[in-house]
Amino acid sequence: MSSIADIRKEYKLKELQEAAAHKNAIEQFDLWWKEALNSEIDEVNAMTLATASADGIPSARIVLLKGFDAAGFRFFSNYHSFKGMQLEENPRACLVLFWKVLERQVRITGLVEKLSEKDSDEYFQSRPAGSRIGALASPQSEVIENSAWLINRAAELEKKWAHAEIPRPPHWGGYLVKPVSIEFWQGRPNRLHDRLLYTLLEDGKWGVERLAP
């Protein structure tokens, strides 16, 4: 059996040069996002969300990117979940998307705020009925008796709302990560990876610097 330390992969598909990169970080993300979509990557919008409590205890998990624009990057969750509690204490986060097929990684660091109730309502009602029932049924991150309890609770709510619009619970909604920095990482041979760091400046423009791999 080989050692974990012996596991290696040589990256050589693409490169990232300043001359070809967009000067705006969101526009650069959009370019890479479209390439990722066209590459038919499985769960292309899966990303790591890292948060921390007020005293700096970190936590990370996978969530799904549900939209982005000049304002920032959006995802949805239960506000009473562990991540929700950390974001309430410390409204800062880091997002990481890794697209193995393209040998690329994007790291987004920013400030977090809740989306409007209107935006949360619109997205909630666009979800499949089963997902809406799940959001109502699950006291996310809390200890529960067993899986049967959750299944029975979901069944009760499904019956209750069988002939009416399933309401968004007030403790469920969206977050906006407003980036202050975005790093684009492109794998390169011999671990001489390309790393471009975009930092948001006071005038709203983006500064771009190359980082050593």
Residue 45 has pLDDT above 80, yes or no: yes
What's the pLDDT tens digit per position in 52-83? 999 999 999 999 999 999 999 999 999 999 99
pLDDT of residue 1: 67
Tell me what the mean pLDDT of segment 194-198 comes to. 98
pLDDT of residue 31: 98
Closest CA to 185 of 159, 153, 212: 212
Domain ranges of the chain: 10-128+170-210
What's the pLDDT tens digit per position in 122-152? 999 999 999 999 999 999 988 999 999 999 9
Residue 204 has pLDDT above 80, yes or no: yes
What's the pLDDT tens digit per position in 16-34? 999 999 999 999 999 999 9
pLDDT of residue 7: 86
CATH of segment(s) 10-128+170-210: 2.30.110.10
What's the pLDDT tens digit per position in 81-113? 999 999 999 999 999 999 999 999 999 999 999
Residue 2 has pLDDT above 90, yes or no: no
Tell me what the mean pLDDT of segment 180-201 comes to. 97
73, 77, 83, 87: CA torsion to nearest 10: 60
Q: What is the pTM of this model?
A: 0.93
Dist. CA 73–CA 177, nearest whole Å? 5
Which segments within the chain are labelled E, that is strand? 46-52, 58-64, 67-69, 72-78, 92-99, 104-114, 172-186, 194-200, 206-210
Give the count of beta carbons closer than 10 Å to the beta carbon of residue 115. 21
Tell me what the mean pLDDT of segment 152-174 comes to. 94
Dist. CA 180–CA 23, nearest whole Å? 15
Backbone angles phi, psi at 34, to 5 degrees: -65, -40
Dist. CA 167–CA 178, nearest whole Å? 28
Q: Using CA of residue 78, residue 141, residue 48, residue 44, what is the dihedral sign? A: negative
Dist. CA 118–CA 34, nearest whole Å? 27
